[in-house]
Amino acid sequence: MSIFDSILGQVSGALGGMSGQQSGLAGSVLNMINSQPGGLAGLVQNFKDKGLGSMVSSWVATGPNPAISPQQVQHVLGNEQLQQFAAQHGLNLDQVSSQIAQFLPVLVDKLTPNGTSAMKATGIEFSSRPAAPAGDWHTGPRRQFVITLSGRAELEVANGQKVPIEAGNINLIEDTTGKGHITHNIADRIVVTIPLAE
């Protein structure tokens, strides 16, 4: 499962489910956060610059997530960005602002699980994973990013979903308990593993 899919799944679970349209919009917002200067830290700074620093700081922290109004969403993100989202998802400006207001606090909260916008790595490892039949169910040894530099694989997760993995994919592995996942290396892979601090 990619890091984006993992985050969106957590957001959907926290909200009791999202419609396909909401999920698509949340994905667009996540892409915006990832691609803007400074990433998530840049978004946090934007909130602070617009006078909403205490609100976004509460989302980043581990406590409750105060609500944001559609008008405040428009104030922070701007009409140009919201109009782009509206065109992408067949919504008007008010609908886009209202839907983003529903999930943005949870989205930022899930992007900062330890009360910080930074994920701390404990190292980096390069390895070769030869093509082989699918293995057995297993959990991840720790929370970690796995970056596939070359090759191809398929990951089957606990709910039965099969996730294709291609060169260039960044996957967050965090199923350290429970059923875990099955990895099928379809073609020889070179991967970078980045363990995360607890």
Give the residue carrying structure tokens 């922070």: 76
pLDDT value of position 58: 92
Q: The CATH number of the domain where 106 resides is what?
A: 1.10.10.690
**194: nearest Cα among 131, 138, 120, 128:** 120
Closest CA to 3 of 170, 132, 133: 170
> In degrees, to the nearest 5, what angle opens at C-alpha 144 toward C-alphas 41 and 189?
115
Tokens 């944001």 locate to 68
Residues 6+ apart with CB under 8 A from 6: 172, 174
DSSP bridge pairs for 59: none
Average pLDDT over residues 26-48: 84
CATH number at residue 183: 2.60.120.10
Q: Of 111, 142, 171, at which residue does a domain stop?
A: 111
Q: How many domains does the chain have?
A: 2
Kindly report, residue by residue over 119-169, the tens digit of the pLDDT.
Answer: 667 888 999 999 999 999 999 898 888 899 999 999 998 888 888 999 988
14 lies in some domain: yes
